[in-house]
Structure 1
Amino acid sequence: MSKDALGWRCKFAVVAPSTNTIVQPDMDDLRVEGVTNHYGRIYVPNMKVTDDESFVELVEAIGRTLYEAVDRCMTCEPDYLIMGMSALMFWDGREASEKRMQALSEHCGVGVSAGSFACEAALNLYGVKRIAVISPYFPVSDRNVTRFFQDCGFEVAKFRGLKCPSPVAIAHVQPEELRRVVQEMDDDSIEAFVQVGTNLSMVKLCNDMAEELGKPMIPINAATYWHALRANGIMDQFPGHGPLFEHH
């Protein structure tokens, strides 16, 4: 571990699309003493997204400059890498995503946490199988997210893709709309909710609704940061940020 004056327990490199305005404040809210976050931006134009084809173009744009952003982050000698983007880390199912994550780890020489695997770990922790998923994406991505969770042994009983018209527009979805979506999807057959898409602001809402509904609500940014802390042996527990941080 580093002996950085502020990041004396761990320095996290966090890579996220340049269009993302949610992952940085979300993860900064979850920092504990002795841990610092250092952000690298993957250049992505605020592309208009209208259908599956244009969404695939967006994912490909992220992939083209991902390693450049990672390399810039590595110049501060971080101890660990956090993926602050999610679609690419679900793509083509669990096996392909694991290979993608391993390649990143080998490239930069440190461990990696990605939202897909963090959500899997959280779901396994809660012992649930039948889930509902909320995403800001288009159907092509929703199919990849569904495939990933099915590969992990979960049943995706319900899925709501919001089809946000651009990367920046994802952050414009308000809590009131997301609350309505959860309420429409919820029934006794759903054991847990998962929210994907790191630019969708849902951490606080998930924490509130977990208490209201009495079932796990897993927001991807919180799950990813929790996973990164625990992977580095940082076991601090604290209230106010959901059950993952308070009890696990």
Structure 2
Amino acid sequence: MSASSESKRDFVSSELGTKDYWDETYDREIKSFNDFGDVGEIWFGEDSQERVLDWLEDCDLVTTDDSVLDLGCGNGMMLIEMARRGYTSLTGVDYSQGAIELAKAIAEKEEITCINYQVADLIAADCTQKYTCLTRQYKIVIDKGTYDAISLIPDSEVEARQVYLKTVKHLVAENGMFVITSCNWTKEQLLHFWKTDFELFEKIPTPSFQFGGQSGNTVTSLVLKPKP
């Protein structure tokens, strides 16, 4: 199933687009981690994460020395797995203090020291000047569900998405790549929104389904490159 424009979305603004929701979520997950060692949910599931990491591992343009930024890192498990695979220059940001505290606690338990975590609001107008880790560019910038969450912000999602686009444009190096995974937007919708500054480099294969004579994907993962 596909749509050629943003107007054909099948979701609406919700509490998933609010900071309060994520703060409460990570407060619970920190307690669960401290009490039981449970790292919490991997957004879109472990398989979705592995598909992105396997693609990066197989890409001739990517090395383990490349700088990596995870936007909306949550519990940091994407970066934890990248560290296990040998990546050495890793940064994660999230606007929830609880998420960053949880990510740091997990990294400490795993004895992983190559990840730099920082609280940062990616849709603040001055975020690329306000937060140290957002003042530079990265070879690989990863979004796994963050654009989806921004798209669910009540009342101001359109403005928020435009600010986010400018933020990502600033963060991706000229020779870098932006890897975005979404469960709310189709390939066509993502390309439509990001087309002002990015172009498709490759689509990462994801499981498909058949319904009513049409095929579609529950999750879409794209690798985008900055336009010349």
After TM superposition, is the score higher than 0.5?
no
Structure number with the higher strand fraction is 2
TM-score (norm 2): 0.40
